[in-house]
Chain A
Amino acid sequence: MNREEIIETINNFLIEELEIDAERLKDDARLREDLKIDSLDFVDIAVIVEEHFKIKIKPEEMKNVKLLSQFYDYIENKMKEA
C-alpha cells in the first residue's frame, strides 16, 4: 500500500466515521485542536488501522503525532517496519 492509498483510507474514515468535513483534512491540520479528535477517537483509529493495514498501533503511541501529515508518516513507517 502506497502513501496515496494510506491517505485515502485514513481520510475516508475521518470523513465517514468521525464526520469531519473533507476540506478540513489538510496536511498541517492539528489532530486534536483543529480536527477535534479525542482520546476515545484514537482507540477507534487503532481499530481501523488494524483492519485496513494489518498493523497494530497503540493509542498511547499517538501522543507524539500532532499533525495529519505526521499521522500518514506514522502509518507509512509502521507498515515498513511490519
Chain B
Amino acid sequence: MRRVVITGMGIYSCLGKNLEEVKQSLYAGKSGIGIDEARIAYGYRSPLTGIVERPQLKGLLDRRSRICLAEEGEYAYMATVEALKNAGIDADYLEKNEVGVLYGNDSSAKSVIEAHMHTLETKDTTLQGSGAIFQSMNSTVTMNLSTIFKLKGINMTISAACASSSHAIGLGLMFIREGLQDVIICGGAQEVNYLSMSSFDAISAFSTRVNDPTKASRPFDRDRDGLVPSGGAATVILEEYEHAVKRGATILAEVAGYGFSSNGANISQASDFGSCIAMQRAMKDAGVQPADIDYINAHATSTLQGDAFEADALNHLFGELKTPVSSTKSMTGHECWMAGGSEIVYSNLMMLNGFIAPNINFENPDEHSRNLNIVNQTMEKNINLYLSNSFGFGGTNSALVVRKLKVEN
C-alpha cells in the first residue's frame, strides 16, 4: 500500500502567524482569545473570539489575486506559502508537476453579506465589483489557491462543518493511497469576522465569560459554559512516501489512518457512539490499537454536551489506558472549518518537539471527564502516534491517526 506522509506545514492562527510562533504559544499554554467590540455593537450575546490579524498582501500578491481572496482565503494563502516553503516546493516545481488541493471551508459569509448590503444600497449589482463572486462561494479558498499556485491536480473544497478540514486530510490520504495523486495541499480555513458567526451566537453556543476572556474556553472543565469561535488557516502538504524520499524532502510525519462516521441523529448534538466509530475506524485503518496511541488531541470545544459525549467516548475506548488527552481549543477557541487541519499542525509540532500542549483552564473535572488523563500543564513527552478528533453539526465525525516516521536511509 502506498504510504502518505506530511512533508510541509504552515499555520496562521490566534496563537501565531507561523510555525515557530505557534510552537512557542502551544508550549507556553498561551490563550489567543479576546474581545471583539464590533460584536457588542452588532448584538452578539458573546463578543469573545480568537484574535487574528489580517495579513497585508499588497506586495506579496497581484491585485487580481488579492481582490478574489476572502478573509479566510488570505489566511489560507499565508499558511500555504509557509507549508510549501517548509516542504521545499517552489513555483518551478508547481509548474512542472501535478499538485492538488483539498481544503476544508464551510462559509464565506462576510463576502456574501457585504455584496448584498452594497446592492441594497446602490440597486446595481455591477457595483459589487469583480471580486465578490470569487470571494463568496464556499469553494473560494481552493479556487484561489489553485489559481495563485497554478495547481493542476485534484481541486475542491470539503464542507463538513467543524470536521471539514479533518475530512479534507482524510480524503487527501485516500487520493494518494489510491495512486491518483502524489502531492496534495490539504488543510482548512475559517473566517473570523463578526458577520460570519452571528447565527452561531444566536443558538447560545458561545461562552459568555466576558470578564475573563483567556479563561472562557475550558474544554472538559466542570465550569465550562460554551465555546469561543476562532479561525485562521492551516496547511499540510501530503505526499506519497517514495515520492517524498526521492525528492529529498524532510518527512515530518505519516498520516497512518482516517476514520469517519455520521451520527444519524440530532443536528446539533454530538454522539459518543458515532465518534467511537470514527476513532475505531481510524485506528483500524492505521493498523494500531488504543494502547499504541501516545496522545489524543480531542475535538472538545468547551460546550456542555459536546465535551461530555466525547469524554464518554474516550472513556469507552481509552479509559483503562489513561492515554494523555488535551484540547488545544482551550487556547485557540474553536477554529471550526479549520480546526481539523490546525490541530494536525499543532499535534505535529508537539510530536516533533517532544511535548504535549496543555488543556488550559481544566481545573475541575465533571462526572464525564473525571476518569480521563487530561493534561492541563505542558508535559514533556515523546509522542510516536497520536489521534486527532473532529466532529461537526449534522453528526459528521472524522478522526485521523498520525505517526512519527523514522526514515531509513
User: A17 in the interface, Cβ–Cβ < 8 Å?
Assistant: yes
A56 smallest CB distance to B (angstroms): 7
Task: Flag B123-141 by CB within 8 Å of A: 1 or 0 each.
Answer: 0101101110000000000
Contacts of A17 in B (CB 8 A): 63
Contacting residues, chain B, for A44 (C-beta < 8 A) = 67, 129-131
Q: What chain A residues lie within 8 Å of B64 (beta carbons)?
A: 40
Give Cα distance in the complex from A19 to B62, angstroms.
8
CB–CB A43/B63 < 8 A:
no
> Which of B62, B126, B127 has the most chain A CB atoms closer than 10 A to its own CB?
B126
Which chain B residue has the least Cβ–Cβ distance from A40?
B130
C-alpha gap A47/B130 in the complex (Å): 9
Closest beta carbon of chain A to B138's beta carbon, Å: 20
Find B126's partner among A18, A19, A41, A58 (CB 8 Å cutoff): A58
A50 on the B face (CB < 8 A): yes
Whether B62 contacts A47 by the Cβ 8 Å rule is no
Chain B residues with CB under 8 A of A56: 124
Partner of A43 from the list B62, B122, B126 (CB cut-off 8 Å) is B126
- Interface code B101-138, partner A: CB below 8 Å = 1, 0 otherwise? 00000000000000000000010101101110000000
Q: Which residues of A lie under 8 Å from residue B126 when comparing CB positions?
A: 43, 46-47, 58-59
Residues of A within 8 A of B130 (CB): 40-41, 43-44
Query: Which residue from A19, A40, A46 sits with its C-beta under 8 Å from B127?
Result: A46
List of A residues within 8 angstroms of B62 by Cβ: 19
Q: How far is the CB of A52 from chain B (nearest CB, A)?
A: 13
- Taking CB atoms and an 8 Å cut-off, the chain B residues in 52-75 that contact chain A are 62-64, 67
Please provide the 7 A-B residue pairs with the shortest distance between their CB atoms, ordered closest to farther: A40-B130, A43-B130, A47-B129, A46-B126, A44-B130, A44-B129, A47-B127
